[in-house]
Amino acid sequence: MSRQDSDIREYFTRMDRSFYMDKDKRLARFDQAVSIGHGQTISQPSLVLAMTLALDVQPESRVLEIGTGSGFQTDLLASSSDSVYTVERIEPLHHRAKEKLTEAGFTNIYFKLGDGSLGWKAHSPYDRIMVTAAAPKVNETLLEQLKPGGKMVIPVGDSLDQELRLIEKDQLGEVTSSFLERVMFVQLIEDTV
């Protein structure tokens, strides 16, 4: 196990998920998904950790996260990378996560309210992209915002059956995709304008 992986695991064991929950705080310590309101959920902690390790986040990585949600995953990413650019489309969740992560003392997280299926072009390209809502296919716009040598973790599929995939872009821009595990995330909603 690399030093970075053991640091991430060590930090993860000290995290208190209840800090990011408004209600049913007693459920925080169980390894199960919990509701954060607005029809959204925080994944089970073991999956949040597995996705972060699969993304191979490095201390110098600039990370784009789609689906801020409660901010729990953002916390783990921000503590193990250079900076996180996180996009959420539901306004109360965006505000709440910003409040909590600021209260937790983070100064390397940038928040955006909007449709994350468009990524966040102004700060692209990114070393790593974490998508925490499921899309029917790998999003081309996000792929464009990934650096050569970059990695993306994304759940792909419909509302009942999704594959968590690791997408890697090599230095020449060639993209490969590998299967990690079967998962069930809420849908990535593409806002029509």
Catalytic residues, which ones? Answer: 43
Binding residues for ligand SAH (CB under 6 A): 36, 40-42, 66-67, 69-70, 72-73, 87-90, 93, 115-117, 132-133, 186, 188-190
Burial 12-40 (b: 16+ CB within 10 A, else e): beebebebbbeeeeeebeeeebbebeeeb
* Nearer Cβ to ligand SAH (91/170): 91
* Nearer Cβ to ligand SAH (66/183): 66
Least CB distance to ligand SAH at residue 137 (A): 14
Q: Quick check: helix, strand or coil at residue 110?
A: strand
Are the beta carbons of 94 and 113 closer than 8 angstroms?
yes
In Å, how far from its chain's centre is CA 136? Answer: 17
Token digits of residue 70: 């409660």
Least CB distance to ligand SAH at residue 5 (A): 20
Secondary structure E strands in the chain: 34-37, 40-42, 62-66, 83-88, 109-113, 126-131, 146-157, 162-169, 175-183
Residue partners of 6: CB distance under 8 A and separation at least 6 = none
* Nearer Cβ to ligand SAH (114/173): 114
Q: Which of 61, 46, 63, 58 is nearest to 12 (CA)?
A: 46
Least CB distance to ligand SAH at residue 186 (A): 5
* Nearer Cβ to ligand SAH (1/83): 83
Instruction: Tell me how far apart the 2 most distant CA atoms of the chain are, in Å.
Output: 48
Least CB distance to ligand SAH at residue 69 (A): 3
